[in-house]
Structure 1
């Protein structure tokens, strides 16, 4: 037993510890927020449900894909993530969220196996292939790819590639949200130097479609893809306000490569298993990845100020995606072959309202124009804090085991 009271301690947007009870409650709340499945929404039940692999299953949109798939589509299968076990400090939030997701899957009769390790490695791909063959009849119906990482080791060459957040062509200055030593929010200008050397190629190697394509090829070579197999990689386009650092920057180059990979994979899968590959363009949310991008935190806070509860959280967006992938609703693609879950964010009226606030926002007007309390709570919830219904004064067990199959 290793019970203790855990208080939130942070350095900017990064927290030193996570709260197991808050992480568990958060996943419970996500599950309850998923609309109940219609009869057409579940391809099967228990041992007959569709088999899915979610790569990046413990955080952000990947977590939402896992929970929504379990609760609404009735998937079973495998979640892959890379989390740190409890030791001197608590485990990572994703460690505790995975334990909570596994518990809910068991309670609802879903056979879900969670594997912890480097998704970029062929070792993990071998493990997944083994579980699919031994536990799930050697068939995979869906693969959701949701990986955000700072670096990737190429399994063929052993080269380590590192991604960077940089504009392309010229320095970029933007407003950004920061917090001072007392936790008070401030608006500051920050300038990011442009990509140099092989920054673009490095970022594409990490965040582009190379690993997604490798996963598909690896599983196809072992005859593990079911007829009609469907795969979706999760992506983001975002606002013109953030385009220079995101869609037109190094990360944007990686996203463009991901979308090109989808088109290649779609042609291949259509010929071999009657399958398909798409990218899903999700809308803005507070995630551990997004808070690291200059300007994104301020943008999301202003967006919330405009839309309030009309913002669609990740769990709602991924329930929509599963409905389209599983045939509950028709799969609707844009001219680039992408599923678009971001229409509410990029509505011209919404973007005009956010742009007006962006032009006016200063440290003095920040509280009036952006939903700071909501944003701060969302950041803390990434680590299991500020979750309603959790007693943060009570000791909590931190030594939570990884879910056994």
Structure 2
């Protein structure tokens, strides 16, 4: 079949297997070109299939020579339907790792569940004995509590009052004003349950009980703060409450890990196009403006560039990790530079449907989004028939 992007309300329902493989290869080649890194050698990435998680796994393996275990929950292919992009990414990663003689294994299952945690524990015991680093990069809208069986769903809403601001439909490049109604208490708590630090702590607690955390074990989870213009829908909204909980969880984990001389960190990363960030109102317009400014200044980074710099300059084994006053790693430092934010702010009130392609990098945002799903990738013939059955084994 001919595979084309099928996008409904900023959600792409298809993925191109050859394009996904090529994008994984591009990221691997970037890391190889940048050079070897000093990294732990036994690394688990929870949420390994796309975005920062995939970039972390690629950097660990092909930059640090690490053996990796990945966990993600992906939709596999059928004879008439493509898999999720993460499914193809995981497949490509494992194949490229094997080609380079790097041990990797991927668990496909619900990372929130205790059964998947048990699978990971058993694999680590059998293959490594202990784990040196756990990267927690899980992004899911739904979580089933493993103790109660209750299902929690997250929402992306402001708190206290409605929020009105400009946003952009990045596929048809139209700018319009959107109003998002406030969340109630019954929506805030479930969002924290899904996107906060509870599951991160559960992973570490179960690993600690199983005795598989190495001396000096480290763990890192990813967060975002962003500019004031996005605060109402992000940092001061429901997702912001979840991120605060995640960041507070790092302090609790540091106490848990004292006997191992271990450490837990939250890394505040740059705004980048991911499957999650693309559906947050207002944020795509901010990112399109941001990308234009950062590209003009020569400081723009994608996921792989951002994560490579994180491990090159911040999370270096045996060295103190530079953090801010709240104990967070700030790899968003280039985005939040005063000159960058002023330039974005100056453009914010000027942008319209008529000038959005001139004032912003909306084309770059759209291309990044399509590449997440294996489309708009150089070197791929999208007019060629793809045999989906070749990916069923």
Give the TM interval when normalised to the shorter protein: over 0.9
Query: Which residue of the other structure, out of 12, 16, 22, is the alignment partner of 2:13?
Result: 16
Query: Which residue of the other structure, out of 112, 117, 125, is the alignment partner of 1:133?
Result: 125
Q: TM-score, normalised by structure 2?
A: 0.95
Moved more, 32-41 or 350-359: 32-41
Find out whether 1:398 has 2:374 as its counterpart. Answer: no
Aligned length: 389
Question: CA shift at 1:331, angstroms?
Answer: 1.9
1:370 aligns with 360
SS of residue in 1 equivalent to 2:82: coil
Q: How does 1:3-402 map to 2 (within 5 A)?
A: 4-34=1-31, 36=33, 41-42=38-39, 50-87=41-78, 88-136=80-128, 138-178=129-169, 184-269=172-257, 271-308=258-295, 309-323=298-312, 324-327=314-317, 331-399=321-389, 401=391
Whether the 8 Å contact between 2:265 and 2:327 is mirrored in structure 1 is yes
Deviations 1:368-403 (A, max 9, x none): 101122111111111100011111122223235589
SS of residue in 2 equivalent to 1:279: strand
Distance between the aligned counterparts of 1:391 and 1:90, measured in 2? 17
SS of residue in 1 equivalent to 2:265: strand
Question: CA shift at 1:71, angstroms?
Answer: 1.1
Query: Structure 1 residues 400, 127: closer, same or farther in 2, change over 3 A?
Result: farther
Question: CA shift at 1:259, angstroms?
Answer: 0.5
Runs of 4+ aligned structure 1 residues displaced above 6 Å come to none
SS of residue in 1 equivalent to 2:155: coil
Which blocks of at least 5 consecutive residues in structure 1 are unaligned? 44-49
Distance between the aligned counterparts of 1:157 and 1:379, measured in 2? 36
Deviations 1:305-325 (A, max 9, x none): 212252111111111222332
Question: Pairwise CA RMSD of aligned residues?
Answer: 1.7
Distance between the aligned counterparts of 1:58 and 1:347, measured in 2? 30
Q: TM-score, normalised by structure 1?
A: 0.92
Which blocks of at least 5 consecutive residues in structure 2 are unaligned? none
Whether the 8 Å contact between 2:37 and 2:63 is mirrored in structure 1 is no
Query: Structure 1 residues 13, 85: closer, same or farther in 2, change over 3 A?
Result: same
Distance between the aligned counterparts of 1:76 and 1:303, measured in 2? 35
Distance between the aligned counterparts of 2:361 and 2:235, measured in 1? 24
Whether the 8 Å contact between 2:158 and 2:236 is mirrored in structure 1 is yes
Deviations 1:334-384 (A, max 9, x none): 111111110110111111110111111111121110112211111111110
Deviations 1:99-140 (A, max 9, x none): 11111111222111001010000010010011001122x201
SS of residue in 1 equivalent to 2:178: strand
Question: CA shift at 1:37, angstroms?
Answer: 6.9
Distance between the aligned counterparts of 1:354 and 1:196, measured in 2? 31
Distance between the aligned counterparts of 1:96 and 1:242, measured in 2? 32
Whether the 8 Å contact between 2:60 and 2:68 is mirrored in structure 1 is no
Moved more, 111-120 or 74-83: 74-83
Moved more, 32-41 or 12-21: 32-41
Whether the 8 Å contact between 2:142 and 2:153 is mirrored in structure 1 is yes
